[in-house]
Structure 1
Amino acid sequence: MKKTIFSIARALPCLFFGIDLIKKPKRCVPPSYGNLSLSCFQLDGQTTRNVAKLANREINLERLLRKKIIRLTTVLFFFSTTLFAQAKATSRQLAINDKVPNLTLSQILNFNQKSAEFSSFRNKALVLDFWATYCSPCIAEFPKMDAMQKKYGKNIQFLLMNTYASDTVEVLEKFLAAQKAKIKDFALPIILNSAEIKNVFPVNTMPHYIWIGADGRIKAITRADQLTEENVSRLIAGLSLNLKTKKD
């Protein structure tokens, strides 16, 4: 290795001054440098082989780098395609029989988690109750839902979906405290304003209920008068719900 480095070092001056090593392997004197003499040696066989190895190594590294770039580009392409598909799925209004995407519930009150995803309720039926603190008919249904939540809690989850902009965290915390004073062990989680929820479940009038089966598909969209224990039992059992669809 030392011999190789030494040979290359001895040859560099000639390469620098543009002297042909093959034609003048022993000695070269650039005309403009007078008596300055630089010894030039033709690269021996071992040095040539070492240089060739280095060149091949660079070529192999370049090929490897190209492969890695192609792989990375492919991964990024599929990743961006997946993100686009998810964004598209969560940007359209859902209807009966649609599969609900794995939406994020970023702020939750009165629950064992501060945030969750729909997948957290996998294999459970869901009833989404869209409401606001100004909606008296909505609030009037809370005791009934709370009782059914406590009775069928292993198989269903009622979620109070509040998408009203004026109902801030402070407002809802005060409201929750008042409900707990009225209803012992009030068990209904409150979901705060969520852009994702608004995109897929736009609501114009309340009360507004979305019934979701354990298979993750929307079974019905109704008003408060359809919220009965019989219908809830059918939802849990996976039976068909012949309920009148609410039209906003």
Structure 2
Amino acid sequence: MSAQRLSALRETLSAIEGSGFRRRPALPFGLGAVDARLAAGGLRLDALHEVAGESADLSDDAAATLFLAGIAARAWGPVLWVVRRRDLFAPGLMQAGLSPERVIHAEAADDAEVLALMEEGLRHRGLGAVIGEAKRVAMPATRRLQLAAEGGRTIALMLKRHGRVDGDPLAVPSAAITRWRIGCAPSTPLPRGVAGVGRPRWRVALARQRGGETGEWIMEACDETGRCALPAAMADRTAGAHGNATPRAA
């Protein structure tokens, strides 16, 4: 771990202390069918959550990245995003509701440095979200991140990237509270006669949840406020099954 990188991060974090944002124990999606499946009624803010693309395809990787950006956009304050490569596209993040002004970028040399910077950010307690991108993360490292997150209100999010040889990034045991798999689905159909492409859709799978069930949904991608939606037909089916309307937007 570079002492220079760590010192620079500490200086940046010190500058944002005392932000005073309202904090909540969990961050709901605002989708009844999804939040009802989550043990905390949303994503626990004092916990680690992992996300991976459904495949190694760049479109699935981008979908997983935007899924994380939408979660961070709905968190309460500044966001630390630790990357291994400079491929974050600020306009894309903004389309998912995450303003560049909220993002603190940190570039790490390897996965070990990603984890060290994430842990530093989580222990600071002055951030709304900490996001890290890594390929190989052992169980002890995820336990350290989970322990660093506990007792705070900074949600820990990890993008597990596909390796060149490795298979499923979520196959390795982890201490993460939830683990998600995101893939691209056919976009929302436009009305007949209207040219263009409809709102992107994702296949969202809650692959694992500590103390809770799994689940799969088709979601419309994050809008400019970071909120996803359930396609109208799916929302209508859920409403019919439960006797009341299910919100369509997170």
TM-score range, shorter chain: under 0.3
Using structure 2 for the length normalisation, give the TM-score: 0.27
- Quick check: which one's strand share is greater? 2
Q: Which has the higher contact order (CA 8 A, sep 6+)?
A: 2
- Quick check: which one's helix share is greater? 1
